[in-house]
Amino acid sequence: MPTPAGRMPVLYLSHGAPPLADDPLWPGQLAAWSAGLPRPRAVLMVSAHWEEAPLALGATTTVPLVHDFWGFPERYYRVRYPAPGAPALAERLRKTLRRAGTPVQDLPERGLDHGAYVPLGEMYPRADVPVLQMSLPTLDPRRLLETGRRLAPLREEGVLIVGSGFFTHNLAALRHSGTPAWSAEFDHWGQEALAAGDVDALLDFWQKSPAARLAHPRTEHFAPLFVALGAAEDELGSQRSVIDGFWRGLAKRSVQFG
């Protein structure tokens, strides 16, 4: 099903860690993906690395990045991504959500975290697309699905909605060679659930998926998927996995809706 003229697709991507930029394959995959998308007027980024309630909007202007990681070489802390802010989008979103009864707070000094700027640096390396980051106000899948539904009209206005997480996220995998069975099993289950448009199974993944507690000891990296599902609810049949495979044992499955 082609994307209707003027309507942006919705993405859920696995964002990787700062060393993603050094991977021989992954940066090119992200760059090729963005090259095939309509150019967005702005990006609304929902990252696993920002949980804040009530729902918060950050980076409404260009502010320093949040280097929210530890133990990496110094060069990763020198990375800059001076994307323009999107204050008009922030105002539009503020009104939309408050009208629906969702409280919204403004944290303009909060910069883009690595769940936002690491993939965007590969997809839009010129940092010339305005970016607004929105917090995860909860990890409850159904509440996040509803939040995504409220974001859906932004797609008609040229806004690319991106949920940024990791399809499996248990850092214990980094201590071993190869791909753990739990990561492969969860990835396969998730691929089939997405292909079938089985939103109920995805919402209840903690109970219905194999090895869920190993794949996601904490669920914040799967949570952005539910925002994406809500924003793309009428086009779930058009989903496709654009990137798959594993990075240091973690599933990097990344999906486009629409």
Domain assignments of the chain as residue spans, ordered by start: 10-257
Q: What was the pLDDT predicted at 3? A: 46
For strands 42-51 and 131-136, give the pairing.
Answer: parallel
| Cβ count near 13 (within 10 Å) | 28
CA distance 162 to 47: 8
Nearest to 46 by CA among 162, 157, 158, 149: 162
User: For the structural domain made of 10-257, what CATH number should be given?
Assistant: 3.40.830.10
CA distance 115 to 13: 10
Angle at 164 between CA 159 and CA 168, to 5 degrees: 150
Looking at residue 128, its amino acid is: D
- Side-chain half-sphere of 32: how many Cα atoms within 13 Å? 8
Angle at 224 between CA 222 and CA 228, to 5 degrees: 120
Q: What was the pLDDT predicted at 5? A: 45
Token pair recorded at residue 118 = 């690491």
CA distance 223 to 59: 21
Helix (H, G, I), strand (E, B) or coil at 169: coil
Q: Is the peptide bond before 130 cis (omega within 30 degrees of 0)?
A: no
Token pair recorded at residue 253 = 């499955």
For strands 254-257 and 246-247, give the pairing.
Answer: unpaired
pLDDT, tens digit only, all 258 positions of the chain: 334 447 999 999 999 899 998 999 999 999 999 999 999 999 999 999 999 999 999 999 999 999 988 888 999 999 999 999 999 999 999 999 999 999 999 999 999 999 999 999 999 999 999 999 999 999 999 999 999 999 999 999 999 999 999 999 998 878 888 999 999 999 999 999 999 999 999 999 999 999 999 999 999 999 999 999 999 999 998 999 999 999 999 999 999 999
pTM given for the model? 0.96
CA distance 83 to 146: 28
First to last CA, the chain: 7
